[in-house]
Structure 1
């Protein structure tokens, strides 16, 4: 048995959090002891496995701020993770063998104070590429953080990334780090989807009078480009004629945290955009749907609209394909590794015209939803199973233990 500590900044609801929870569950089912340490954990806004007793979670602190007047968010994230690492090393009393760190590498030097422990860093995407630097002050501020990120990432015993796309970005960004990262694709625990697979929309309290529903499922953040779904849908409605338009509906669902200013602001922006496009009566906005609701939506959708550009991996297209729902996605980033265009969905340009064209093929029957859905389901089962993910991660952890024994 290996004792694995997980260090994560905020155990909320998102792709990074889903991967961390899945990684912890995978290692636990392999007989290892796992314990999650985090700087923030809201029991009302998290994955159920972190509150129902399946996973041990310690929330180290909630008193350090997330920002200073909506600025310096990265700096505070670094400080919060350093604080969590200090707690783990100095105070927790946990004799851990491996530490699984993700998102923020600044805490790795602290964790290496436990010389016998191995540090595994999961790089969802280089943090320095997730922000803009419009002013000299911001460039100076980010220079310090960027240098720290590269230096501390290189101190990990093993670095994993979520896709070959991210691996290529990692190599270009961290030129001083000689070792290439390994790819560990996120996965799905099929049982979590299968137990809700018989639910329809009325079963979960959704009364949508449409036989052609398009679904967008993403956090309410500007970088997810959700306006593309609204604009494409509006173009489609105006294009197909009144009779067909009457059958169309767009569901815009996703993670929403009322404590995050961007979530609150962008949600309002999207509602106003739907109004200005004249489609508000054909659009439903749904905040943070439960798992059973999400599964019912994925089953009922004509196809999934996945709008982010250069997404690092993108777990939602995999979820949709497992539920036999084709995907329309931007032809960049992670979806190029998960979606087979023309077989399990359509990869296209990031324009409303291109998305509307792809959507129209499903409305008119040019794209065979059933055949694509079947192919999509088989692709996920064969390539992104939780079993395969668990075996790969366990192999990596055991390899780190073998390295320790050899020293």
Structure 2
């Protein structure tokens, strides 16, 4: 029997996304196993977060965000994020709470300072940030160099390192050649209870989604690396009846459909606002009729950042006759739904004919697991984590990241016999239920943490000096680059 532990999670931004869902589920799983759990974060918007973080299920504490901005003139995001994380780490260290273990994820920079809590550090690496950053110019390469070294050094200071897939494990090994540690693999899980809840059909926010069309669903953050444009191009080919879809496709099934692009959209993140507008322009160039629905409770500043013509929820068109509701998407090919609610997500997953997951070399991807559990076949790029979750031809299709291949797979699912389609959905549900349950995840996570606690904590000899020198160097470099530009 494991004694109850005090465990703190340290996570940068507790919004809505795959990484945040993992943190929330990991915290809940440990809490259910009798451990005391607290989450520290630099940002927690109650209108843009998972319900468990605002309804009292989890104890969330915010810090590290009062002095350092998110960026300096729209630049130096990583520097500001690291400085903010160090301030958050200082808050954790100064907290009178005594922790047995700290679960740190995404950002390794605060790990050396967190050592002052005398707790063991468990680092969950979603994907090395070193491989996500752009280095298109000499200035960017010089700017990123100290951060890349810092990431490798601080990651190595953790007492236990875990990654989310075998793909990330191999990527980690190549990205950090100076680390002898081979991280263990702990795949994310789903909290089935959250997906088993019935859809609140009386929710007025569902009116914008009401349609008789077959729904092709894309769920992802509005980030360029997610390549949502691939979904637009593939869907356009389906509507055009392109020869790539095959001769056996039923034309009526392809025509009577709509693409819903839903995902995380944060008005504070310039890329989110820019990319949503870019996708709208791309859809228009492809001849697709579009509509963007504003997020619930969006303020005037956020509304101003949406594409022109964005409409508000819940009511889009006149809908007074409940017995014969208006088909909101009758004249729409693509619906953009930024910052959707959990009930909207549940409705879309219950109504979708297929889910299109477009990122290439995604480290894992929680969306395919969500879709399969909800009995929706998935079309995804044949690379990265989806290779480990999707069974080709049984729970979905893995394709080359090209619109022709994606269009063929989407058309196949749209025109598939209902019995075969349901069998594919059932296979996906059974696979996720067997291999990605929260109970199993919680037991494995607890086992890893308890095993870590049996070993001496990995103490850093020069952590104070290194962190101080890094801060001085990074700030000096930032000032020089600002002056040079």
Q: TM-score range by the shorter chain?
A: over 0.9
Which protein has the larger Cα radius of gyration, Structure 1 or Structure 2? 2
- Counterpart in the other structure of 1:278: 287
Map of 1:369 onto structure 2 = 421
Q: CA separation of 1:34/1:244 partners in 2, compared to 1, >3 Å: closer, same or farther?
A: closer
Shift of 1:226: 0.5
Using the TM superposition, give the Cα deviation of residue 254 of structure 1 relative to its aligned residue in structure 2, in angstroms.
0.8
| Higher RCO structure (Cα 8 Å, ≥6 apart) | 2
Alignment partners' CA distance in 1, 2:253 and 2:373: 28
Contact 1:201–1:297 at 8 Å: present in 2 too? no
CA distance, structure 2, for counterparts of residue 123 and residue 401 of structure 1 = 19
Q: Which residue of 2 aligns with 1:28?
A: 31
- Displacement of 1:197 in angstroms is 5.6
Indicate the residue corresponding to 2:431 in structure 1.
Answer: 379
Given candidates 51, 60, 65, the residue that maps to 2:69 is 65
1:45 to 1:202, Cα distance in 2 relative to 1, 3 A: closer
The residue matched to 2:141 in structure 1 has which SS?
helix
The C-alpha deviation readout for 1:54-97, integer Å capped at 9, x for no partner, is: 111111133321111221111111111111111111x2111111
Check the 8 A contact 1:39/1:81 in 2, yes or no.
yes
Whole-angstrom distance in 2 between the partners of 1:268 and 1:141? 29
Deviation at 1:172, TM superposition (A): 0.8
Please name the residue that 2:129 is paired with: 127
Corresponding residue number in structure 2 for 1:388:
440
> Matches of 1:171 and 1:246 in 2, distance apart?
46
Root-mean-square deviation (CA, aligned residues, Å) is 2.0
Name the TM-score, length of structure 1 as normaliser.
0.95
Identify the match of residue 96 of structure 1 among 89, 95, 99.
99
Measured after TM superposition, the shift of residue 200 of structure 1 is 9.8
Shift of 1:175: 1.0
Question: What does residue 317 of structure 2 align with?
Answer: none
Query: Using the alignment, how far apart are the partners of 2:98 and 2:87 within structure 1?
Result: 18
Aligned: 1:39 with 2:51: no
Counterparts in 2 of 1:193 and 1:75: CA distance versus 1, 3 Å: same
Q: Could you report, residue by residue, the CA deviation over 1:225-248 in whole angstroms, capped at 9, with x for unpaired residues?
A: 000111100011001687444411
Unaligned 5+ segments in structure 2 are: 242-248, 290-331, 460-485
Report the CA distance shift for 1:380/1:241 in structure 2 as closer, same or farther (over 3 A).
Answer: closer
What is the distance in 1 between the residues matched to 2:412 and 2:116? 58
* Residues 1:81 and 2:85 aligned together: yes
Scaled by the length of structure 2, the TM-score of the pair is: 0.80
Report what 1:194 is aligned to: 196
Distance 2:184 2:250 in 1: 50
Give 1:210 shift.
Answer: 3.4
Cα pair 1:201 1:207 within 8 Å, conserved: no
Distance in 1 (CA, whole Å) between partners of 2:164 and 2:209 is 36
Asked if the contact 1:201/1:296 (under 8 Å) is kept, the reply is no
Task: Tell me whether 340-349 or 55-64 shows the greater mean CA deviation.
Answer: 55-64
The structure 2 residue matched to 1:147, chosen from 140, 146, 149, is 149
2:393 match: secondary structure: coil
Indicate the residue corresponding to 2:229 in structure 1.
227
Give the superposition deviation at 1:403: 2.4
Structure 1 residues 401, 27: CA separation in 2 closer, same or farther (over 3 Å shift)? same
Count of paired positions: 404
